[in-house]
């Protein structure tokens, strides 16, 4: 099942992507209305994340992580495994694989990258994030880095595509401001912000494929 699906997905990812329009479906109103404020600065830091697809009892899933509490703007948020580019990394794909191994214990050599989604600039942390999509031929036994990951959430594609899991919610930012933003509700957790925007584009790709 995963092998056939991944071939179709790889082909779709090689075509023009839904891009910003799909991302903005899950952005809060201020970001949608003030795009000029979010031009990518020259000093933006580079990072990447991984949507890691695997098969579990006939269902295709991928992991999200609940970040541990720390002194930073993304503390306690739901995210995709990933992180910042470091000089030993050959490229941003290598960053996504290295960070995923460090955060959730998946061996880099076991992951096949099949494509990527549209990069996304995150103003609060000044990161330009590149989302990669990869597959692994077995159901991983995740080993979270307890310093960075409080919980791993295994999400299946049907749940991602289910419109009943969409909503909106007031979110208090690390700055103390409160915004109302579109969110996903998964397993009693709220997914919003950059992660929701990247998943929104992934969802658009899957919709085009008839998933």
pLDDT higher than 80, residue 145: yes
Query: What's the pLDDT at 72?
Result: 53
Q: What is the pLDDT of residues 167-177, one digit of tens each?
A: 999 988 767 78
Mean pLDDT along residues 148-168? 96
pLDDT higher than 70, residue 75: no
Q: What is the rounded distance in angstroms from the CA atom of residue 154 to the CA atom of residue 206? A: 18
Residue 3 phi/psi, 5-degree rounding, is: -60, -45
Written as six digits, the tokens of 202 are 């992934």
From start to end of the chain, where are the E strands? 45-56, 59-67, 78-79, 82-84, 111-116, 120-122, 127-136, 149-156, 166-172, 178-186, 189-191
Mean pLDDT along residues 183-195? 94
Query: What's the pLDDT at 46?
Result: 97
pLDDT higher than 60, residue 34: yes
| Of 41-45, 69-73, 152-156, highest mean pLDDT | 152-156
Query: What's the pLDDT at 73?
Result: 54
Query: What's the pLDDT at 76?
Result: 75
Mean pLDDT along residues 66-70? 80
Mean pLDDT along residues 137-148? 94
């Amino acid at each position: 099942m995963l092998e056939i699906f991944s071939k179709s997905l790889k082909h779709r990812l090689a075509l023009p992507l839904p891009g910003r329009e799909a991302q903005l479906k899950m952005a809060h109103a201020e970001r949608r209305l003030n795009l000029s404020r979010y031009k990518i600065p020259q000093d933006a830091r580079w990072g990447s994340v991984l949507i890691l697809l695997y098969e579990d009892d006939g269902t295709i899933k991928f992991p999200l992580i609940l970040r541990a509490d720390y002194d930073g703007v993304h503390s306690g948020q739901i995210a995709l495994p990933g992180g910042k580019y470091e000089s030993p990394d050959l490229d941003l794909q290598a960053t996504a694989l290295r960070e995923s191994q460090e955060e959730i214990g998946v061996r880099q050599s076991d992951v096949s990258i099949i494509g990527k989604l549209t990069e996304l600039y995150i103003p609060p942390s000044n990161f330009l994030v590149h989302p990669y999509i990869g597959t692994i031929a077995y159901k991983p036994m995740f080993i979270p880095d307890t310093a960075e990951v409080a919980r791993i959430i295994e999400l299946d594609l049907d749940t991602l595509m289910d419109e009943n899991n969409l909503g909106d919610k007031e979110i208090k930012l690390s700055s103390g401001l409160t915004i109302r933003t579109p969110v996903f509700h998964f397993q009693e957790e709220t997914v919003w912000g950059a992660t929701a925007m990247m998943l929104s584009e992934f969802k658009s790709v899957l919709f085009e494929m008839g998933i």
